[in-house]
Amino acid sequence: MASTRRILDVLRHGQPDETITVKGWVRTKREQKEFSFIEVNDGSSMAGLQVVVNQDVPGYADTIKRLSTGASVAISGTLVESPAKGQRIELKAESLEVFGEADPETYPLQKKRHSFEFLRDIAHLRARTNTLGAVFRVRNAASTAIHQFFQERGFLWVHTPIIGASDCEGAGEMFTVTGFDLKKIPLTEDKQAVDFGKDFFGKQAFLTVSGQLEAEIMAMAFSNVYTFGPTFRAENSNTSRHLAEFWMVEPEMAFCDLLGDMELAEAFLKYVFRFVLEQCPEDMEFFNQRIDDSVLATADNIINNEFARVTYTEAIALLEKATRTFEYPVEWGLDLQSEHERYLAEELFKKPTIVTDYPAKIKAFYMRLNDDEKTVSAMDILAPKIGEIIGGSQREERLDVLERRIQEVGLDPAPYWWYLDLRRYGTVPHAGFGLGFERLVQFMTGMGNIRDVIPFPRAPQEVEF
Ligand code: 4AD
Ligand code: MG
């Protein structure tokens, strides 16, 4: 048997008369009188390889019967120029092996359009569809781009923990991790609270909402670092942009201010878009044709235009002047809702928009207090159609101010003792941001629901696979 080739490689580089083997899953079969066409896909590309199976192939009658959509096969044969339009090359089968059949009576993926809702219920099979296949290839390329961007700039990739004892965002949206037998949870002496002292870690532990605080520790040794890993939010938000488990990219830079932070974030997004367009041109073309016809124009806009920049105070003034009405009130001091964010990025600026200097009251305790004592050196990047995709800030590096801020927001300072130590020993101005990776993939592909850009979404009432 000839060596197995990936179908992407065959489609791009295969030459007539080469003998090859491909392995994959049947997408379609068309039986004619004396031969059959099958299209085989192995996940390496959107397009499958067309295979012509003549009657004279050994075991033809029996094998062809078993080859329905979804069946797994190995096919060896010779490449020939394809007379069909839209494809350069096809495979003339000489031998076929069926690994596993897929009963057409029950196999849920038939050759028709399935709704994304339906596909979510069969997440164990949906990666075999055109759209989800394209999404996961883009996701892979974007991940590679992220590492490449930071590695080229000398950032250290640091692995921050998934289980922790502090709340980075101070929003209390955390899942508890416990080793308790839930039928016998020990209570404190007064029976008013759970005695986490007796739990596995000796205190209450949580799934992390962000690796930022630990990334700050590492930045105070390596200057420039980044994390890229799963984070968890126990917020009961049933929207098309929230997951309970999502991946976040968090760079953290010592000796950096808000301006440097914004510049890095913009260069980063441009880099990732360019890389994905280069690596996945067919997939991106597909999204543009089938999902959202502004996908390629958006990518072009990101790569070639500077992002808009406004302060929160300016943004509020612009929203107050808007001729349209909003569901949620617009007022200095209130957080921007997704409808406001989208208005700014989508309708007003028509490109990613960086909003800076938010009121301290609506942002996390670690953001650096500005001289006006009312706002913090924060920045959010808002994307058309998505809203916030990046949230970042310069960090409060002054011990006394940080202690005060922790008090003001009503957090117990005890779990943050080590975070405060960073301000006691060799503190420096520093900044960073967090990119919601699934929101980025949504933004790139035009996919409407965040559950369809991660292989196995976790959301309220959703944990099957
Ligand atoms: O704005 P957030 O909460 O910021 C942080 O966690 C900081 N510690 C980041 C940092 O400065 N290092 O979250 C960052 C990004 C958001 O902009 C959004 O894109 C994404 O994470 N995000 C979510 N994505 C999917 N589902 C959710 N529930 C998300 N919550 C936030
Ligand atoms: Mg945020």
- Average pLDDT in the 297-324 region? 96
Residue 110: predicted pLDDT: 84
Q: pLDDT band for position 252 (50/70/90)?
A: very high
- Percent above pLDDT 90 for the chain: 95
* Segment 334-360 mean pLDDT: 96
d(C-alpha 457, C-alpha 464), whole Å? 9
Half-sphere exposure at residue 118, Cβ-oriented, CA atoms within 13 angstroms: 8
The reply to whether ligand 1 has any atom less than 6 angstroms from the CB of 363 is no
Residue with the smallest CA separation from ligand 1 atom 22 is 436
Evaluate the CA torsion angle 404, 399, 176, 187 in order and state its sign: negative
| Confidence (pLDDT) at 1 | 57
- Identify the nearest ligand to the CA of 233 by its number: 1
The ligand with the least distance to the CA atom of 381 is 1
**Domain assignments of the chain as residue spans, ordered by start:** 3-100, 128-174+209-452, 175-206
Q: Ligand 1 pocket check: which of 388, 394, 441, 453 to mutate, most ligand atoms within 8 Å of Cβ? A: 388
- Closest ligand to 209 CA? 1
Q: How far apart are the first and last CA of the chain?
A: 36
Over the stretch 64-109, which tens digit does the pLDDT of each residue have? Answer: 999 999 999 999 999 999 998 889 999 999 999 999 999 999 999 9
Res. 172 pLDDT band, cuts 50 70 90? confident
Give the ligand 1 atom nearest the CA of 243: 26
Q: Is the pLDDT at 137 greater than 80, yes or no?
A: yes
Contact 415, 166 (CB under 8 A): yes
CA separation, residue 171 to residues 91, 168, 183, 290, 410 (Å): 57, 8, 28, 38, 11
Q: Above 70 in pLDDT, residue 353?
A: yes
pLDDT at 231 over 70: yes
Q: Which ligand is nearest to the CA of 368?
A: 1
- HEC assignment per residue over the chain: CCCECCHHHHHHHCCCCCEEEEEEEEEEEEECCCEEEEEEECCCCCCCEEEEEECCCCCHHHHHHHCCCCCEEEEEEEEEECCCCCCCEEEEEEEEEEEECCCCCCCCCCCCCCCHHHHHHCCCCHHHCHHHHHHHHHHHHHHHHHHHHHHHCCCEECCCCCEECCCCCCCCCCCEECCCCCCCCCECCCCCCECHHHCCCCCCEEECCCCHHHHHHHHHHHCEEEEEEEEECCCCCCCCCCCCEEEEEEEEEECCCHHHHHHHHHHHHHHHHHHHHHHCHHHHHHHHHHCCCCHHHHHHHHHHCCCEEEEHHHHHHHHHHCCCCCCCCCCCCCCCCHHHHHHHHHHHCCCCEEEECCEHHHCCCCECECCCCCEECEEEEEECCCEEEEEEEEECCCHHHHHHHHHHCCCCCHHHHHHHHHHHCCCCCEEEEEEEHHHHHHHHHCCCCHHHCCCCCCECCECCC
- Look at the alpha carbons of 163, 166, 170, 172 in this order and tell me if their dihedral is positive or negative: positive
> Pocket of ligand 1, candidates 210, 393, 437: which has the most ligand atoms within 8 Å of its Cβ, to mutate?
210
Place of tokens 């008090």: 407
Residue type, 79: L
The pTM of the full predicted model, rounded to 2 decimals, is 0.96
For ligand 1, is residue 451 a contact (CB within 6 Å)? no
> Is the CB of 212 inside a 6 Å radius of any atom of ligand 1?
yes
pLDDT for res 2: 65
Expressed in angstroms and rounded, the spacing between residue 362 Cα and the centre of ligand 2 is: 10
User: pLDDT by residue (tens digit) across 3-35?
Assistant: 799 999 999 999 999 999 999 999 999 999 999
Give CB contacts under 8 A, 24+ apart, made by 98-101. Answer: 98/63, 98/66, 98/67, 98/71, 98/72, 98/73, 99/71, 99/72, 99/73, 99/74, 100/71, 100/72, 101/66, 101/68, 101/71
Q: Which pLDDT score is estimated for 86? A: 85
434 lines ligand 1 (CB under 6 A): yes
Angle (deg, nearest 10), helices 130-152 and 258-279: 130
Share the mean pLDDT of the chain.
96
Tell me which of 3.40.50.450, 2.40.50.140, 3.30.70.20, 2.40.70.10 is the CATH number of domain 3-100.
2.40.50.140
Whether 41 and 24 have beta carbons less than 8 Å apart is answered as yes
Picking from 130, 140, 139, the residue whose alpha carbon sits closest to that of residue 48 is 130
Question: How high is the pLDDT of residue 164?
Answer: 96
User: For 40-56, how does the pLDDT look when each residue is reduced to its tens digit (9 = 90+)?
Assistant: 999 999 999 999 999 99
d(CA 228, CA 250): 6
Q: How far is 22 from 42, CA to CA, in rounded Å?
A: 8
Q: Whose Cα sits closest to atom 23 in ligand 1? A: 436
Structure tokens at 314: 């300016």
211 lines ligand 1 (CB under 6 A): no
- Residue 433, ligand 1, Cβ within 6 A: yes
The class (CATH top level) of 128-174+209-452 is alpha beta
Nearest CA to ligand 1 atom 7: 434
Better pLDDT: 299 or 1: 299
Q: What integer pLDDT is reported at residue 75 of this predicted model?
A: 97
Which positions ≥6 away from 391 have C-beta within 8 Å? 378, 379, 380, 381, 433, 434
Percent residues over pLDDT 70 in the chain: 100
Residue whose C-alpha is closest to residue 19's, from 7, 2, 5? 2
pLDDT over 90 at 170, yes or no: no
Query: What does the alpha-carbon distance between residue 377 and residue 131 come to, in Å, rounded to a whole number?
Result: 40
